[in-house]
């Protein structure tokens, strides 16, 4: 394997069968562990290990800690230090001005996340029904059907790593005019959304009260939860939602759209924000 330290993709040897063009290398997305740690005057604690694609590691840590309810919106973050350790796995330390609430950093909250599912390993459903500090029900965001149908193409146009590898997820904000701002990519769909939220957290741009979130994969319960925690009133997914995602969207007052295509989509919860053309 040939890759630069911190790069999102790598070249690997490959044998092509059944095609005319002969190549001996292909570009694949990088997947490596990242340790997320909290630190404060007089103490520190390892919180989680996630398998992720390198890049925006600081934003990933901030978004994860915020989305889990461990890092309150009013927390004073004094530093975010990223340490690249190669094969040993990289780490991010988020430093706080004061010690966090012990109840939020209890050891039973620590869990290992794979790139496909950040919710795996949590002991009970109630542990992930984190309540958002933001109310979505009264949010006035509305989006036309035509705008929603354009989102997948707009997202794809700006997925630089996907263009080279074909195997990475993305998350971005959108409003009535379509995709806006940064498009964050990661091998894990929940990591891509954490990177998006963490970027906004670092820039004091939360909540996402005037924007929806579009994701390239399916709409899992965890993505709805993270969108809710970030204060977004709408989640649009290229793939399908799960039953629990639909349930939580209705509970939170979030519009949930799935199977978004250029000519169609399904609205699974709170359809009032979607304007029919």
| Cβ atoms of residues 62 and 94 within 8 Å | yes
What is the Cα–Cα distance from 132 to 178, expressed in whole angstroms?
A: 25
CA atoms within 13 A on the CB side of 76: 6
The catalytic position among 117, 120, 211, 228 is 117
Task: Name the E strands within the chain.
Answer: 9-13, 25-29, 32-40, 43-52, 77-83, 90-96, 111-113, 143-144, 169-175, 178-186, 212-215, 234-237, 255-258, 266-269, 274-275
The CA distances from residue 249 to 9, 193, 221, 234, 270, in Å, are 34, 16, 9, 9, 8
Burial class (CB in 10 A: 0-12, 13-18, 19+), 22: exposed
Active site residue 228: no
Q: Which residues contact 59 (CB under 8 A, 6 or more apart)?
A: 184, 194, 195, 196, 198, 199, 201, 202
- Hey, how many other C-beta atoms are within 10 angstroms of the C-beta on 271? 12
What is the Cα–Cα distance from 236 to 216, expressed in whole angstroms?
A: 9
The CA distances from residue 277 to 225, 229, 268, in Å, are 29, 30, 18
Give catalytic residue positions: 117
């Amino acid at each position: 394997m040939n890759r630069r330290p911190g790069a999102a993709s790598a070249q690997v040897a490959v044998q092509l069968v059944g095609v005319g063009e002969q190549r001996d290398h292909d570009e694949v997305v990088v997947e490596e562990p990242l340790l997320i740690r909290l630190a404060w005057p007089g103490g520190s604690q390892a919180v989680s290990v996630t398998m992720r694609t390198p890049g925006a590691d600081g934003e990933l840590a901030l978004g994860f800690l915020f989305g889990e309810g461990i890092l309150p919106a009013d927390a004073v973050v004094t530093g975010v230090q990223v340490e690249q350790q190669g094969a040993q796995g990289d780490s991010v330390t988020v430093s706080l001005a004061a010690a966090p609430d012990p109840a939020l950093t209890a050891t039973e909250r620590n869990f290992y996340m794979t790139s496909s599912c950040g919710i795996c390993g949590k002991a009970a459903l109630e542990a992930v029904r984190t309540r958002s500090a933001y109310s979505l029900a009264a949010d006035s965001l509305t989006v036309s059907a035509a705008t929603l149908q354009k989102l997948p193409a707009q997202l794809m146009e700006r997925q630089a790593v996907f263009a080279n590898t074909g195997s990475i997820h993305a998350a971005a904000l959108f409003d009535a005019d379509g995709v806006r701002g940064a498009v964050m990519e990661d091998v894990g769909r929940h990591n891509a959304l954490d990177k998006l939220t963490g970027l906004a957290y670092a820039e004091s741009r939360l909540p996402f009260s005037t924007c929806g979130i579009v994701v390239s994969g399916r709409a899992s319960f965890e993505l709805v939860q993270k969108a809710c925690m970030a204060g977004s009133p709408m989640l649009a997914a290229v793939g399908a939602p799960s039953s629990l995602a639909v349930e939580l969207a209705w509970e939170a007052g979030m519009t949930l759209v799935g199977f978004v295509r250029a000519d169609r989509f399904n609205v699974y919860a709170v359809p009032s924000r979607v304007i029919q053309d």
